[in-house]
Homo-oligomer: A and B are copies of this chain.
Amino acid sequence: MWPLRLISYIRLLFTLDLISDKKTGMVRNTLRRLPLYAQIKSVLLRRIGEGEWPANLALPSEWELAAQLDVSQGTVRKALGELVAQGVLYRRQGLGTFVAEAADDWGAGCLLTPGLFGESPDALVLEFLGCSRANASEEVAAALQLRRGAPLIRVRQLWRLGGIAAALDDALLAADEYGDLDARTIRQCGGSVYVALQRRFGVRPRTQSEQLRGVLLERDDALVLGVAADVPVLSLLRLSASVEGVPVEWRQRICLTATLAYTMRPGA
């Protein structure tokens, strides 16, 4: 019994690219620096990132995974639970555990609703406007860990609610890394940058930080949105990173708030 467990720990060790110079007796302790379920989580995250299981197809069952990784079902369950909480997976009782689609470009931070404290989120429609090149400002360069002036891809998207323009997005990505992201690719992905990143680069961006301001709508943006300029709007900045924590995308969003309000997801 015990030797078998030990072997599994050693296997996990290599799977995680961790190195231990300790004697076998010490391996377990060394590994315990991270709880087993956290190690399982890393292993699964990597295998998901490598596209081992397509989106919306079931992973192996909890018992199957437990056998593969040589841990108990409860431990697998705890790891899966955290991934579900992070939105990477979802579960359906009696069916299985599934890889979630790439995150929606709108993001999980806040939700748009038409009414006041209304409950119906209403379908936002994403419209792809175009792709262009740009250079990193000081601010963007710092956030994306690039040098100032580094070449960027700029993706412009328009959000509509019931046909009416609601928000305007500018997504910025490092061109050196994601230069292949052209208009055709994004169009094939329904206009979604995140879906394109997932399919083309195996990157699943996750919101890392979001920031809000009240600003006045600029003339250029007002033209695109088809409304008057100089009205107060909501400005959102978002930094997204891969599951490994590498910055991927900087996004700036302008939200019209004259007739709409933005309801935040009730936290916890």
Q: Does A85 interact with chain B (Cβ within 8 Å)?
A: yes
Q: Which residues of chain B come closer than 8 Å to A4, judged between CB atoms?
A: none
Q: Does A34 interact with chain B (Cβ within 8 Å)?
A: no
| Chain A interface, >50% SS class | strand
**Sample of 19 more A-B contacts, CB < 8 Å, known A110-B212, A212-B263:** A109-B264, A109-B267, A117-B237, A117-B239, A210-B263, A210-B264, A211-B262, A211-B263, A211-B264, A212-B257, A212-B264, A213-B232, A213-B257, A213-B262, A214-B233, A215-B232, A216-B232, A234-B234, A237-B261
Q: CB distance B143 to A215 under 8 Å?
A: no
Q: Does A75 interact with chain B (Cβ within 8 Å)?
A: no
Question: What distance in Å separates the Cβ of A267 from its nearest Cβ neighbour in chain B?
Answer: 6
Residues of A within 8 A of B (CB): 85-87, 108-110, 113, 116-117, 139, 143, 207-216, 232-235, 237, 239, 255, 257, 261-268
Q: CB distance B214 to A267 under 8 Å?
A: no
| Residue in B85, B86, B139, B266 whose CB lies within 8 Å of A116 | B139
Q: Which residues of chain B come closer than 8 Å to A237, judged between CB atoms?
A: 116-117, 261
Q: Taking A85-B268, A143-B117 as contacts, is the C-beta distance between A234 and B208 under 8 angstroms?
A: no
For the complex, what is the distance from the CA of A265 to the CA of B232, rounded to whole Å?
A: 24
Question: What distance in Å separates the Cβ of A262 from its nearest Cβ neighbour in chain B?
Answer: 4
Can you offer 29 A-B residue contacts whose CB atoms are under 8 A?
A108-B267, A108-B268, A109-B267, A110-B264, A113-B211, A116-B139, A116-B211, A116-B237, A207-B266, A209-B264, A211-B261, A211-B262, A211-B263, A211-B264, A212-B212, A212-B234, A212-B257, A212-B263, A213-B262, A214-B215, A214-B255, A214-B257, A215-B232, A215-B257, A216-B232, A232-B232, A234-B234, A265-B267, A267-B267
Q: Which residues of chain B come closer than 8 Å to A211, judged between CB atoms?
A: 113, 116-117, 261-264
Q: Which residue of B lies closest to A212 (CB)?
A: B262
Q: CB distance A209 to B263 under 8 Å?
A: yes
Question: What distance in Å separates the Cβ of A119 from its nearest Cβ neighbour in chain B?
Answer: 9
Q: Which residues of chain B come closer than 8 Å to A139, judged between CB atoms?
A: 116
For the complex, what is the distance from the CA of A237 to the CA of B86, rounded to whole Å?
A: 27
Q: CB distance B266 to A209 under 8 Å?
A: yes
Max chain B C-beta neighbours (<10 A), residue from A208, A211, A261: A211
Q: CB distance A266 to B215 under 8 Å?
A: no
Q: Which residues of chain B come closer than 8 Å to A210, judged between CB atoms?
A: 263-264, 266
